[in-house]
Amino acid sequence: MAALPTARPDPDIIAGPLPFEPRPLALPSGWRDDESVADCCGKRVGILVVAYNAVTTLLPVLKRIPPNVWRNVEEVVVFDDASQDATFELAMGVKLLRDLPKLTVLRHARNLGYGGNQRAGYRYMIGRGFDVVVLLHGDGQYAPEILAHLYAPIVRGEAEAVFGSRMMRDYGGPLKGGMPLYKYAGNRILTALENLALGMRLTEFHSGYRAYSLAALRQIDMERMTADFHFDTEIIIKLGHQGMRIREVPIPTYYGQEICYVNGLKYAGNVARALWRYRRTVQSVAPAPEFAEYWVHYPLKDAPGSSHWLAQRAVPAGARVLDIGCGHGFLAERLAGRGCRVTGLDSLPQPAARHAMESYFQCDLSANAGAALDALPRAVYDHVLLLDVLEHFADGEALLRRAAPLLGENGRLVVSLPNVANITTRLMLLCGRWNYADRGILDRTHLRFFTRATGRALLERCGYELVSSDVTVMPVELALGLRPGGRLMRILSPLLRAATRLLPGLLGYQAFFVARVKNSPSC
Contact 303, 327 (CB under 8 A): no
Q: Are residues 61 and 128 in the same domain?
A: yes
The CA distance from 163 to 209, in Å, is 6
Residues 56 and 8: their CA atoms lie apart, in Å, by 9
- In one-letter notation, the amino acid at residue 106 is L
* DSSP-assigned beta bridge partners for residue 246: 161
Residues 320 and 274 in one domain: no
Residue 301 domain flag: no
d(CA 84, CA 485): 52
Residues 380 and 452 in one domain: yes
Residues 313 and 427 in one domain: yes
Indicate whether 345 belongs to any domain: yes
- In this structure, is residue 1 part of a structural domain? no
Q: Are residues 36 and 157 in the same domain?
A: yes
- Residue where a domain terminates, one of 247, 263, 289: 289
- φ, ψ for residue 510 (rounded to 5)? -135, 150
Domain contains 12: no
Last residue of some domain: 289, 323, 355? 289
CB 440 within 8 A of CB 446: no
Contact 357, 343 (CB under 8 A): yes
Establish if 500 belongs to a structural domain: yes
Residue 173, sorted as left (phi over 0), alpha (psi -120 to 50) or beta, turns out to be left
Residue 367 CB coordination number (10 Å): 9
Q: Does residue 523 lie within any of the structural domains?
A: no
Ordered alpha helix ranges (H), 47-177: 58-63, 67-72, 87-97, 113-127, 147-155
CB 500 within 8 A of CB 438: no
Amino acid letter, 498: A
Closest CA to 245 of 163, 342, 130, 335: 163
SS3 of residue 210 by DSSP? strand
Q: What is the CATH number of the domain that holds 347?
A: 3.40.50.150
DSSP strand pairing (246-250 vs 407-418): unpaired
Kindly list the distances between the CA atom of residue 228 and the CA atoms of 9, 112, 119, 255, 332, in Å, as whole numbers in the listed order: 33, 9, 11, 22, 41
φ/ψ of residue 131, rounded to 5: -100, -35
Rg, the chain, Cα only: 30
| The predicted structure's pLDDT at residue 150 | 95
> From first to last of its 523 residues, what are the pLDDT tens digits of the chain?
344 444 454 555 555 678 999 887 666 666 777 788 999 999 999 999 999 999 999 999 999 999 999 999 999 999 999 999 999 999 999 998 888 999 999 999 999 999 999 999 999 999 999 999 999 999 988 999 999 999 999 999 999 999 999 998 887 778 877 788 888 898 999 999 999 989 999 999 999 999 999 999 999 999 999 999 999 999 999 999 999 999 999 998 877 655 556 677 899 999 999 999 998 888 777 889 999 999 887 778 877 888 999 999 999 999 999 999 999 999 999 999 999 999 999 988 889 899 999 999 888 777 666 677 777 777 789 999 999 999 998 888 888 998 999 998 889 999 999 999 999 999 999 999 999 887 789 988 899 999 999 999 999 999 999 999 999 998 887 766 666 667 777 788 888 889 999 999 999 999 999 999 987 444 4
Instruction: Report the C-alpha gap between 292 and 281 in whole angstroms.
Output: 7
Distance CA 294, CA 181 (A): 37
| Strand order through the sheet with 320-324 | 359-362, 341-346, 320-324, 381-387, 407-418, 510-517, 464-471
- Is residue 160 domain-shared with residue 46, that is, in the same domain? yes
CA distance linking residue 326 with residue 353, whole number of Å: 10
Q: Which of 235, 255, 289 is the last residue of a domain?
A: 289
At 14 the pLDDT is: 56
Secondary structure of residue 1 in the 3-state scheme: coil
- Looking at the fold, whether 237 and 345 belong to one and the same domain comes out as no
Contact 239, 278 (CB under 8 A): no
| 325 and 284 housed in the same domain | no
My answer on whether 279 and 321 are in the same domain is no
In a domain, 6, yes or no: no
* Residue length of the chain: 523
Instruction: Judge contact between 365 and 351, C-beta under 8 A.
Output: no
Are residues 315 and 270 both part of a single domain? no
277 and 398 belong to one structural domain: no
Domain count, the chain: 2
Instruction: For residue 129, give Cα distances in angstroms to 45, 148, 218, 259, 498.
Output: 10, 20, 11, 34, 59
Whether 204 and 337 share a structural domain: no
The CATH number assigned to the domain holding 270 equals 3.90.550.10
Give the domain range for residue 76: 32-289
Which alpha helices (H) appear in 226-329, and where do they start and end? Answer: 231-241, 264-282, 307-314
Residue 522 lies in a domain: no
